[in-house]
Homo-oligomer: A and B are copies of this chain.
Amino acid sequence: MEKSIYTTRYTTLCMRMREARRAAGLTQVQVAKQLERPQSFVAKYEAGERRLDVIEFLDVAKVIKLDAIELIANLQKIA
């Protein structure tokens, strides 16, 4: 687990989630509402301040219309 690579992957993950949300035309408030969480939750995971576990990630991906499989595949290549 190299530190720099770990960081790179996390950055990629966060960026992709933000992009997907915007591409879906959603605000953090709208996503938060669907997830039944406060807006700060969305702000934090997009900023990398809050890590998402596997299941949480899938829930988020569904709401923001992110292709989880494709992203996971890409992250594997980085690793």
Contact = CB atoms under 8 A, between A and B. Distances in A.
23 contacts: A1-B35, A1-B36, A1-B59, A6-B55, A9-B58, A51-B53, A52-B53, A52-B54, A53-B53, A53-B54, A53-B57, A54-B54, A54-B72, A54-B75, A55-B75, A58-B72, A58-B75, A58-B76, A59-B79, A69-B69, A69-B72, A69-B73, A69-B76
B68 A76 contact: yes
A41 to B, nearest CB: 12
At the interface, is chain A mostly helix, strand, loop or mixed? helix
**This chain: copies in complex:** 2
A62 interface: yes
Nearest to A76: B58
